[in-house]
Structure 1
Amino acid sequence: MQDGLPLPRRYAAIAAMSFGSALVIIDGGVANVALPTIAHDLHVAPSSVVSIVTIYQVMLVMLMLPFSGLGERIGLKRTYQGGQLIFTVATLLCFFAKSLPFLLIVRAVQAIGAAAVLSVASALIRQIYPANHLGRGLAINSVVVTSSAAAAPTIGGLVLAVAPWPWVFASAIPFALLSLALGRSIPDPKPGHAHFDLAGAVACAAMFGLVVGGLESAVHGDSPVVSAAIVLVGVAIGYFFVRNQLGEPNPILPVDLLTRPVIALSAAGSFIAFTASMTLLISTPFRLQALGFSAATIGAVIAPWPMTNMIVAPLAGYLSDRIPAGLLGGVGMAVSVTALSLIAFIPAHPTYFDMAWRMALCGAGFGLYLPPNARLIIGSAPQERAAVAGGLVSTVRLCGQTTGATLVAALLAFGIGSGQVPPLISATLAVIAGVCSVARLRPSIRNPSLTETRNEIPTLRQTRY
């Protein structure tokens, strides 16, 4: 079997995947800038219009793993391009939105398409690159995602300056057209499974939707009793869902992969790291605003994080093909803990430079940790489970980001979200993520020979723990 795509087809496939990732990331984040304008035009309260963002995030968390399982059943390329088409059609429907309920439906459909795209993207990247280049391939994709997320607010602001808000959503359509035009170059591996666990997919979506939705409801001031009841129903569904998945040969929730200590530690570390980073990124504007920084200056202070990440992530991906991910992750979290501690104890009257270099250092630490971590999860999974492994990476990222946002909302509600507490919590979480990373260096975890099967041995040998 050929290892990766031949040149120059590989370059065309990389471009197609990059445009596809940029499509869903930009259109997912660009809405934030337009929220005040949408609230004014649709005559709704600002607190209500935030649901445009919330429904998108919740739907992504609910559908990522089910779509990765579906991709294994119907084909990775078909799932990827089908998601792009759904996303593009839903984006065009934004031009017909004259009410908030209709716009929420459109955003939910957009999230369905985005979930299909993101759920199989990592598995397709594994097909595109040779095994010894997988780390740099995932790093390139990480740079595309990071730069798209960083560019989304700027794109949204520029579009709003010259056009009505529906055009904000349409700004990503060119990326869809370019990706679809280059789509012939994307690999189309034969589906590996004949069975799709529909009941498991529904239970998985219900579990994540109810738990995340209940937590979001609680921090936004809804009835604590109702919010707790929603979460408990989600937990109950999750309990029976996980028990059922333990007996499935190809489970929607990859419990078969999570039984591997190296993947379980990697997933746990990724969740904790994303929670830590999101806690800092969301709380920092509130802290800087209290210190007298303007909105423009706050944006400039945060900008060094993604800019540094764009430089460090490809380097980390390149190194992860040669250096154990456990070591890279440990170093990355050591840098992040140092930076987060420095952010917690900034001077009483910090300047722009005081904050900017600390944010750059923090971005470098997380950039050194996350791409090798993702490479380890995807590279350690058997080839036929690559889609679910990629879905696991994306789901863990989204859950971590959502948990961080929910944590900041709770800290703000208690009056301690705009001071030293959030960066100190982030530093503590970074320590735990670092421990998870370094633990993978233990021989008993690096060499799980007792649990390997003959088909899995080549995959595991290609992965540096």
Structure 2
Amino acid sequence: MTEMNPSMPKGHLTEPEPLHGIKLILATIALGLGSFMNVLDISIANVALPTIAGDFAVSPAQGTWVITSYAVSEAIMLPLTGWLSSRFGEIKQFIIATLLFTLFSVLCGLAWSFPVLLIGRIFQGIVGASMIPLSQALIVKSFPVEKRGMALGIWALTTIIAPVSGPLIGGWLTDHYSWRWVFYINIPFGLLCTGLIYWLMKGRDNVPVKKPIDAMGLLLLAIGIGCLQIMLDKGNELDWFSSNFIVIVAVVSVISLISFIIWELGEEHPVVDLRLFKIPNFLISCLCLFIGSFAFYIFVVIGPLWMQTQLGYTPVIAGMVMASTGLLAIFAGPLFGSQLPKLGARRVATFGYICFAISAIWSGSMTTDVDFHYLQASRWIMGFGIAGFFVPLTAISLSRLKGPQIAAGAGLTNFLRNLGGSIGTALGVTIWQNDAIRNHAVLSESINPTNLQFMELSNYLTGMGLDEPAQLQLVDLLVSSQAYILSTNHLLTLSGLIMLSLIPIIWFAKPPFAAGGGGH
């Protein structure tokens, strides 16, 4: 019988014995699948948006609500992971969440109207938000103390590979079958995952604690995070603060979130444990995850966007370029994790930041005639970069957490990672477009009869039989191409420099970084 440890928070039992042998392998696969299908669902639907909008006869702008509805509901629920797992039990909460996520995936695939699809996506986000942090918490607890670094490395693969492979898988399914299979693909993963976890972890759950529901905190959180996510998702489309709608949701978000923080700090049973930020290692890792995710999503979003709009790549081909970033990560993630106590989390993170910066700056030195293979080559080393980013930061974030704090902390870190990614995506696309417009204006100033190069090109095109309007149209296309490559290069280089700026911050974290010690 497992005994209560008085030093643990109320409702927590001393941790059960780690799993071993085939059970440990199966549990790792099952928890990894749960996290993978959830992260995959964020990116896989992006590629299918034009087809979905066409099938339901809605505008492309309305079609983006397939993504926004999921992102908003998930963002609201992620910080609640600790409260939910404490109230219902971590394993029970994970199993229920995964089953319901699978069920609502079926509803999305069967959707007979656009509103039904949106309802399915909202509920996917609500029930699925806790899957990622709980898979992280449970996979760490399933491994022996000395192998928890490897556990983190294996878990990190789901957050690395899924966003990269999502567009590739989504494009292939949409092209060869139907956009509905973007959602049906979750069915076998969800059923296998829940079946294995129920069998392997029966009787290992924490004791639920019936805390009072912090209704006011929950309401303020839902309004604040919901409005913030809507602002980020729709800001670029509505031209940001020139839109009254964006101004209103921004003001409501700021007021609600400030009120939420004040309320939670004075609440006896807060719905989100903000006191975790008093732990220095947790605070530092959250800061680095937030800023690093901002830089990472600029890299992940802007590159494919440029390839598809300027190089004419299909989503599948652009996805193949980006998929190369995950190849080295498949090996680097478990390698870094297993060697984390020996190499030290801060050293691994520093190496990862440097690799990310090298790849980003290399990718930010392209010309308009770059080819597919060169684009892939410039992203290979990014595998070391993203593995060196996620694995040690996850270890550092959990290094001072105990019992139920692990699930609560994992929920907060994943929320901040998603928020950093949302801000990076929204601002990145806006800056990319505005910078390209400025570059186009500057370059166009040199298109005049006093420019010898322009006159030589004009004479050459005249000799090719093109009249003046056709020549100007062709020159405008060339200028636009140059304007967007300059904008793309600036942003990718910026993402690398941002990641380098995290190196001094991570060294403020204090070892040991793994349960039982180890790591520098």
What TM-score comes out, normalization by structure 2 length?
0.80
Deviation at 1:386, TM superposition (A): 0.9
Residue 330 (1) aligns with residue 343 (2)? no
Residue pair 1:68, 1:119 contacting (<8 A) in 2 also: no
Give the equivalent residue in structure 1 for 2:62. 48
SS at match of 2:21: coil
Give the equivalent residue in structure 1 for 2:6. none
Deviation at 1:16, TM superposition (A): 2.0
Distance 1:40 1:282 in 2: 23
* Distance 1:292-1:348 versus aligned 2 partners, 3 A rule: closer
The C-alpha deviation readout for 1:270-297, integer Å capped at 9, x for no partner, is: 1111111110111112434566363354
Deviation at 1:318, TM superposition (A): 1.4
SS at match of 1:191: coil
Query: What residue identity is the alignment partner of 2:300?
Result: L
Give the equivalent residue in structure 2 for 1:255. 274
Match of 1:270 among 289, 304, 308: 289
Give the equivalent residue in structure 2 for 1:92. 106
Match of 1:80 among 80, 85, 94: 94
Match of 2:504 among 425, 435, 446: 435
Residue 410 (1) aligns with residue 465 (2)? no
| Residue segments in structure 2 that go unaligned for 5+ positions in a row | 1-13, 437-483
Task: Write out aligned runs for 1:153-164 (5 A).
Answer: 153-161=167-175, 163-164=177-178
How many aligned positions are there? 451
Task: Write out aligned runs for 1:284-363 (5 A).
Answer: 284-289=303-308, 292=311, 294-295=313-314, 297-347=317-367, 349-363=369-383
Give the equivalent residue in structure 2 for 1:190. 206
Kindly name which structure, 1 or 2, has the bigger radius of gyration based on alpha carbons.
2
Distance 1:135 1:249 in 2: 34
Distance 2:141 2:120 in 1: 32
Residue pair 1:278, 1:401 contacting (<8 A) in 2 also: yes
Residue 109 (1) aligns with residue 128 (2)? no
Match of 1:208 among 199, 207, 225: 225
The C-alpha deviation readout for 1:81-100, integer Å capped at 9, x for no partner, is: 11112112212222442221
Residue pair 1:339, 1:359 contacting (<8 A) in 2 also: yes
SS at match of 1:395: helix
Q: CA RMSD in A?
A: 2.5
The C-alpha deviation readout for 1:103-125, integer Å capped at 9, x for no partner, is: 11111011112113224222212
Residue 144 (1) aligns with residue 158 (2)? yes
Residue pair 2:133, 2:411 contacting (<8 A) in 1 also: yes
Give the equivalent residue in structure 1 for 2:191. 177
* Distance 1:459-1:316 versus aligned 2 partners, 3 A rule: closer
* Distance 1:199-1:303 versus aligned 2 partners, 3 A rule: same
* Distance 1:123-1:175 versus aligned 2 partners, 3 A rule: same
Give the equivalent residue in structure 1 for 2:449. none
Distance 1:16 1:306 in 2: 20
* Distance 1:25-1:339 versus aligned 2 partners, 3 A rule: closer
Distance 1:288 1:33 in 2: 14
* Distance 1:241-1:408 versus aligned 2 partners, 3 A rule: same
Which deviates the most, 50-59 or 14-23?
A: 14-23
Distance 1:284 1:157 in 2: 17
Distance 1:29 1:201 in 2: 27
Task: Write out aligned runs for 1:444-463 (5 A).
Answer: 445-446=510-511, 461-462=516-517
* Distance 1:289-1:41 versus aligned 2 partners, 3 A rule: closer
Query: What residue identity is the alignment partner of 1:422?
Result: L
Match of 1:231 among 242, 250, 265: 250
Give the equivalent residue in structure 1 for 2:262. 243
Distance 1:216 1:8 in 2: 43
Match of 1:62 among 65, 71, 76: 76
Deviation at 1:446, TM superposition (A): 4.1
Distance 1:459 1:338 in 2: 29
The C-alpha deviation readout for 1:128-174, integer Å capped at 9, x for no partner, is: 11222222112212223433444433443443355443233111100
Give the equivalent residue in structure 2 for 1:450. none
Deviation at 1:178, TM superposition (A): 0.8
Distance 1:322 1:162 in 2: 47
Deviation at 1:41, TM superposition (A): 1.3
Give the equivalent residue in structure 2 for 1:451. none
Residue pair 1:138, 1:374 contacting (<8 A) in 2 also: yes
* Distance 1:74-1:291 versus aligned 2 partners, 3 A rule: closer
Match of 2:35 among 21, 42, 54: 21
Deviation at 1:300, TM superposition (A): 3.0
Deviation at 1:257, TM superposition (A): 1.6
* Distance 1:128-1:266 versus aligned 2 partners, 3 A rule: same
Which deviates the most, 229-238 or 148-157?
A: 148-157
* Distance 1:288-1:116 versus aligned 2 partners, 3 A rule: closer
Distance 1:409 1:347 in 2: 20
* Distance 1:313-1:3 versus aligned 2 partners, 3 A rule: same
Distance 2:217 2:196 in 1: 34
Residue pair 1:27, 1:171 contacting (<8 A) in 2 also: no
Deviation at 1:399, TM superposition (A): 0.8
Distance 1:353 1:434 in 2: 31
Deviation at 1:409, TM superposition (A): 2.2
* Distance 1:93-1:460 versus aligned 2 partners, 3 A rule: closer
Query: What residue identity is the alignment partner of 1:220?
Result: E
Deviation at 1:259, TM superposition (A): 1.1
What TM-score comes out, normalization by structure 1 length?
0.89
SS at match of 1:349: coil
Which deviates the most, 181-190 or 310-319?
A: 181-190
Distance 1:315 1:52 in 2: 37
Residue pair 2:353, 2:499 contacting (<8 A) in 1 also: yes
Query: What residue identity is the alignment partner of 2:411?
Result: G
Query: What residue identity is the alignment partner of 1:267?
Result: C
Residue pair 1:82, 1:116 contacting (<8 A) in 2 also: no
Which deviates the most, 354-363 or 396-405?
A: 354-363
Residue pair 2:39, 2:158 contacting (<8 A) in 1 also: no
